[in-house]
Amino acid sequence: MLKVITCFKWVIDEADVKVDASSRRLILDRVGYKISLYDRNAIEEAALLQEKHGASIVAVTVAPPTAKQCLKDALSRGADKACFVNDPSLVDLEPTQTAALLAAAIKGQGDFDLILCGEGSSDLYTQQVGPILAEKLGIPCGTYVNKLTVIEGEKRVIAERKLDDCVEIVSIQLPALVTVLPDINTPRIPTLKQVLAAGKKPVDNITLDKLESPSEPGLETTSILGATMERRRLKFGAEAENIRAAVGALLKEGVIT
């Protein structure tokens, strides 16, 4: 039976982020959280493999303890077990830190065949965690995958990588790590029975004292500001002089030069 590990990130639902009009500061006090979009595709792909080939699925995440509800979400989407690396300090991690913690947690899970990750997270979208994690575990990595086929009995997968100008089809020896694009599947909404059963599935709680604490961050975030659109509410007619006025207004705003 295939042993699949899916990694996911619990992120702010971007639909809930508001921007303060004057300071452009992000207002995050009423935001909801969700499993990062492409990570949902990764979990769904694991669930599809489970239906087709039979597979055990462990969902792994790194987060502060307050993110506990993410486990039920992941478990209701098909994972058999969740692995929750948590500590209050685990917020705003850099990709290298996240990957190091995931690698340590995954090593503790014993043998595995395939690790599935989303191509990038809905919040930062650095696209780095998957490849760094593969490197840390010393396994091959296929990125930008929008179709995945497991060759039964051969311990390998065929992956279609959607690149800028072509589709590359590669054969990857297992164990391996694959990062998926949203085209690979359409994540299903969990059924009520799955959601209700999720609460009864096992969770590995891994606190930092069981792992090495993450390395110091290498980046410093100086500010995060929202993009704003200001409306000038100027109105112009279609006559010639109005067109001149419109062009004048655009010049004045610096939209055209």
Partner 1 sequence: MDFELTQEQKTIRDTAAQFVKHELEPIAAELDQTKNREKLKGILKKLADLGFMGLNVDRKYGGTAAGTVAFSLAMTELGRACASTTVTTSVTNMVAEVIQVVGSEPLREKYIPSLCNGEFAAGGFALTEAGAGSDPAAMRMSAVLDGDHWVLNGQKLFISSAEFAGVFVVWAVSDKEARKGKGISCFLVEPSFPGLRIGKEEKKLGQLASPTNELICDNCLVPKENLLGVPNDGFRIAAAELAGGRIGIGSMSLGIGLAAMDFARDYVKEQARLDLPAFRRRGADRMLADNTTRLAGARFLLLRAAFLKDQKTFYAKEASMAKVYATEAANQACHDAMEILGDYGYTQDCPVERFYRDVRVTSIYEGTSEIQRLIIARELLR
What residues line the site for partner 1 (CB under 8 A)? 72, 189-193, 195-196, 199
Shortest Cβ 25–partner 1 spacing (Å): 18
Q: Determine the Cα–Cα distance for residues 209 and 70; give it in Å rounded to an integer.
A: 22
Considering the complex, state which of residue 192 and residue 227 has its C-beta at the smaller distance from partner 1: 192
Considering the complex, state which of residue 30 and residue 193 has its C-beta at the smaller distance from partner 1: 193
Considering the complex, state which of residue 186 and residue 223 has its C-beta at the smaller distance from partner 1: 186
Q: Determine the Cα–Cα distance for residues 69 and 65; give it in Å rounded to an integer.
A: 9
| DSSP-derived secondary structure for the chain | -EEEEEE--EEE-GGG-EE-TTT-BEE-TT--EEE-HHHHHHHHHHHHHHHHH-EEEEEEEEE-GGGTHHHHHHHHTT-SEEEEEE-TT-SS--HHHHHHHHHHHHHTT---SEEEEESS-SSS----HHHHHHHHHT--EEEEEEEEEEETTTTEEEEEEE-SS-EEEEEEESSEEEEE-GGG--PPPPPHHHHHHHTTS-EEEEEGGGSPPPPPP-------B------------SSHHHHHHHHHHHHHHTS--
Considering the complex, state which of residue 169 and residue 196 has its C-beta at the smaller distance from partner 1: 196
Considering the complex, state which of residue 75 and residue 148 has its C-beta at the smaller distance from partner 1: 75
Shortest Cβ 105–partner 1 spacing (Å): 26
Shortest Cβ 18–partner 1 spacing (Å): 11
Considering the complex, state which of residue 196 and residue 247 has its C-beta at the smaller distance from partner 1: 196
Shortest Cβ 201–partner 1 spacing (Å): 14
Structure tokens belonging to residue 222 = 């100086």
Shortest Cβ 120–partner 1 spacing (Å): 21
The rounded radius of gyration (Å) of the Cα atoms in the chain is: 22
| Residue whose C-alpha is closest to residue 47's, from 67, 69, 70, 74 | 74
Shortest Cβ 188–partner 1 spacing (Å): 9
Considering the complex, state which of residue 73 and residue 113 has its C-beta at the smaller distance from partner 1: 73
Q: Determine the Cα–Cα distance for residues 67 and 11; give it in Å rounded to an integer.
A: 9
Shortest Cβ 24–partner 1 spacing (Å): 16
